[in-house]
Structure 1
């Protein structure tokens, strides 16, 4: 089942489906995972970026929009070619793209390690293969698209750390790949959760992630989300 199947379904049915999908995942709900043990270099700049893929980009973007130190986010696609980077084509599952979120951040305020920690703690079930929640297909796989050798080192090390600690009952399926090029999605997909908080999909799957972020990472929480600007491809 994909997001298109949610129109016309009652909120009660969606809530029931949400519980069923969560139970089927076999993993505990959002919780605070251990911090990365690998020391990060002292930040030499106020500007950095990374790309995170973890299922539907509506919810992943909404998590990062509420993290202190994040300066901008963009929902889009990564892993495939430019000419297939549109929502309808990517939804076929045959483009190589994953729905992704480009995150700009100030490393003096929030580290890449902290962003990864929050991502794995509240944004997804990283043991899922080619799916998240009710969404199924390669476009919903989880990937850390890294933009430097240092990010790649940290990403590989953190996944190995979490697997060694057995914080999940199954191995982490999240891939670590060099960024092949990020392409912003259409305007209506930007800031979707902030603009449509009552949308059944958002209310069922994404609002709980924001609540978990607030509850579990209060020191990183910002109540007012950082919204994508119109000239970044958003609305």
Structure 2
């Protein structure tokens, strides 16, 4: 783990001013060394099983640590029309950042992805998820963040997604592309609850935030490098689309 912890984005004006000073000081240190993600990307093969390319719109829900970085990655994937940070796995009344952060609600910080299967398939989204967006061998933590709310989980929307995900996990484990077994779990029948607005588009809106610089911006570069055919320079933003 590195020493840069994720912190809630919402502050009182006084605390926000103090936090800004601390962030500025911390950022000055990190500019002196190259950014490095706590979850390095891994080159992996495409899934042997995938959905057929088709028109229309589908949804996928992935959890893989802090939703800031996962959302930021998928906002840069061609064919993705929306990527929303939120909470999946618990009930509606507890889907609040401060409560989810206790790790006792059953939620995972997650991202709901709306995509066009004729441009990017579910299998391709999974390839990005396992390769770039997070480290699927870390159990109940990602980088500096620990707790079940940061677990690696695929929330399958239907039987087809579940089968594709199960097949791909088995394929990757058999090929031993990771140094440790994949611990990603599969959950079905769970409801997604959007997170607070101050969490949406966090990577894009806060590119100098030390946590983002160290943990998440390298993921965007890895996406661009490893999946140039899927990379979109312009991210699809939640707040822009809701205005």
- TM-score, L = length of structure 1: 0.89
2:214 to 204, 208, 219: 204
Q: Is the 1:79–1:96 contact (alpha carbons within 8 Å) kept by the matching residues of 2?
A: yes
Distance 1:39 1:112 in 2: 7
User: What's the counterpart of residue 13 of structure 2?
Assistant: none
How many residues are treated as equivalent by the alignment? Answer: 225
Query: RMSD in angstroms over aligned alpha carbons?
Result: 2.2
User: What's the counterpart of residue 136 of structure 1?
Assistant: 146
Q: Is the 1:14–1:200 contact (alpha carbons within 8 Å) kept by the matching residues of 2?
A: no
User: What's the counterpart of residue 36 of structure 1?
Assistant: 47
Matched position secondary structure for 2:224: helix
Deviation at 1:14, TM superposition (A): 9.5
Q: Is the 1:77–1:99 contact (alpha carbons within 8 Å) kept by the matching residues of 2?
A: yes
1:72-126: CA deviations, max 9, x gaps?
A: 0110000000000010000000000000000000000000000000111111110
Deviates more, 1:3-12 or 1:98-107: 3-12
1:3 to 2, 6, 10: 6
Distance 1:15 1:3 in 2: 21
Distance 1:149 1:15 in 2: 48
Which 4+ stretches in 1 moved above 3 angstroms?
13-16, 229-232
Q: Which runs of 5+ in 1 are unaligned?
A: none
Distance 1:230 1:95 in 2: 30
Question: Relative to 1, partners in 2 of residues 1:223 and 1:166: Cα closer, same or farther, differing over 3 Å?
Answer: same
1:117-171: CA deviations, max 9, x gaps?
A: 0111111110000000100111000100010100000000000000010011111
Q: Which runs of 5+ in 2 are unaligned?
A: 10-18
2:82 to 59, 72, 83: 72
Distance 1:79 1:158 in 2: 22
User: What's the counterpart of residue 154 of structure 1?
Assistant: 164
